Amino acid sequence: MKEVIFASARSKEFSYQTSMVAKLERMLRKVDLSRYIAKDDYVAIKTHFGSEGGHRIVRPIFLKKVVEAVKAVGGKPFVTDTVRLKGLDYLEIANMEGITPLSVGCPVILADGLFGRNCQRVSAGNILGEIGIASEIYDADAMVVVTHCKGHIQAGYGGAIKNLAMGAVSDKNREGKSERAKIHATDTQLDWDEGKCELCGDCVDICDHDALTMSEKIEINHFICHKCRRCVEVCENDALILPVMEDEFQMAMAEAAKAALDTFKKGKVIFINFVMEVMPHCDCHPHSDVPVINDQGILMCDDIVAMDLASLDMIEKSPRLPDSAAENLDAKTGLFKGLTGRDPYVHVHHAAKLGLGQKEYKLVRMD
Ligand code: SF4
Ligand code: SF4
């Protein structure tokens, strides 16, 4: 039975000690980071920098507290994510979201380099074969994975496994071919239906990777397309088609997360999940909706499976909020299944099957 430490988001007194920030400090002391981080270890603090228009991410003040805790045990932290836009543009997103060296207290870097091509090939299981893990994560001595929990259009749920599966994998390989596309859809590719297209250009605008161009028709650059489905979702005419491979995608995600974790020695990675401002969709979307459940709190564990299961179970059991995307869902359908059409447990169970952690957990409350 794996222990998952939990601190509630409720703050009932006029006191710093009841704040989420103070609770995170106490949690970090309780887990004793010196068990995971040795003096002078380079420590990747992996988070998601967010998106222009999307503001509900893990706030810099929480990252700062993690940075301070890592420094307190002698580690050398850097806050990091992998390239999603062009590198400098993505660093500017981090800047706009308030994640800067000044705010978090340590360097803020791109783990796969300014051009998203710096990676090391790592064996990754039956579906992926191998995958490129971002160099600065590959080479780090230890890692703290800090995750904002939310829904995800293809995985149902985006927690710690998703944070690593997509976020520790390099954007591209050395030749410039999309590396993450391997996870999104292994043997399918985006297609365009000329008969349905009105050449509105919305798909071109939403693509972060410049994989679409429009003149008399829509041209798709399959070499750099990440198969992320943003263009499919935005097209109101269903003129872009990318078959969903639900289970295979989720299982590939678990394989990619395992590949990232395999680059660390045992006992060098710890996970912090924020079940707060839970969105129906991923932090990479160009907007934030209202939360679908009330803020629950912060969870911490060194087992990625127990961590994500505890967070997911907590979200699924929480009452759904009125005036949110969850309001009119069938009460009998799971929250994320209702929001995304996907079973969010598939990749978590597959991660357990791959030996990434255990499914039995016990919540240990500390408020
Ligand atoms: S969003 Fe759809 S309709 Fe508009 S240009 Fe793209 S494919 Fe055509
Ligand atoms: S799926 Fe669409 S939005 Fe995503 S990278 Fe490919 S062309 Fe761009």
Q: Which two tokens stand for residue 31?
A: 């887990």
Percent of the chain with pLDDT over 70: 99
CA-wise closest residue to 298 among 164, 151, 148? 148
Question: How do residues 103-132 score in pLDDT, each as one tens digit?
Answer: 999 999 999 999 999 999 999 988 899 999
* pLDDT at residue 45 in the model: 98
Site to substitute for ligand 1 among 192, 194, 197, most atoms within 8 A of C-beta? 197
- Weakest mean pLDDT among 45-54, 94-103, 115-124, 245-254: 245-254
> What's the whole-number mean pLDDT along residues 335-361?
94
Enumerate the domain spans of the chain.
2-177+245-365, 189-241
Percent of the chain with pLDDT over 90: 81
Site to substitute for ligand 2 among 229, 231, 232, 238, most atoms within 8 A of C-beta? 231
Higher pLDDT, 36 or 181: 36
CA distance 64 to 26: 14
235 pLDDT more than 70 = yes
* pLDDT at residue 285 in the model: 85
CA distance 63 to 323: 30
Question: How do residues 271-321 score in pLDDT, each as one tens digit?
Answer: 999 999 999 998 888 889 999 999 999 999 999 999 999 999 999 999 999
Whole-model pTM: value is: 0.88
User: How high is the mean pLDDT of the chain?
Assistant: 94
Residue 187 per-residue DSSP state: S
* pLDDT at residue 185 in the model: 64
Q: Report CA(212)–ligand 2 centroid distance (Å).
A: 7
Phi and psi based region of residue 250 (left: phi greater than 0; alpha: psi -120 to 50; beta: remaining): alpha
Three-state DSSP at 249 gives: helix
186 pLDDT more than 70 = no
Q: Find residue 302's DSSP bridge partners.
A: none
Q: Report CA(226)–ligand 2 centroid distance (Å).
A: 6
Alpha helices in 151-265 (DSSP H): 160-167, 181-184, 202-206, 230-234, 246-261
88 pLDDT more than 90 = yes
Tell me phi and psi for residue 61, to 5 degrees.
-60, -35
Q: Report CA(225)–ligand 2 centroid distance (Å).
A: 5
- Weakest mean pLDDT among 148-152, 231-235, 292-296: 231-235
CA distance 162 to 354: 15
Identify how many contiguous H helices and E strands the chain contains and give both numbers. 14, 16
Question: How do residues 324-347 score in pLDDT, each as one tens digit?
Answer: 999 989 888 999 999 998 899 999
Residue 91 per-residue DSSP state: H
Q: Report CA(208)–ligand 1 centroid distance (Å).
A: 15
pLDDT band at 187 (very low <50, low <70, confident <90, very high): low
CA distance 11 to 187: 49
Which residue matches tokens 């410049």?
Answer: 210
The CATH class of the 189-241 domain is alpha beta
pLDDT band at 322 (very low <50, low <70, confident <90, very high): very high
> What's the whole-number mean pLDDT along residues 154-172?
94
* pLDDT at residue 228 in the model: 82
**Strand 129-134 vs strand 119-124: parallel, antiparallel, or unpaired?**
antiparallel
Site to substitute for ligand 1 among 198, 206, 229, most atoms within 8 A of C-beta? 198
For the CA of 198, the nearest atom of ligand 1 = 3
* pLDDT at residue 124 in the model: 92
Tell me the fold of 2-177+245-365. Rossmann fold (3.40.50)
* Cβ–ligand 1 contact at 237 (below 6 Å): yes
* pLDDT at residue 367 in the model: 73
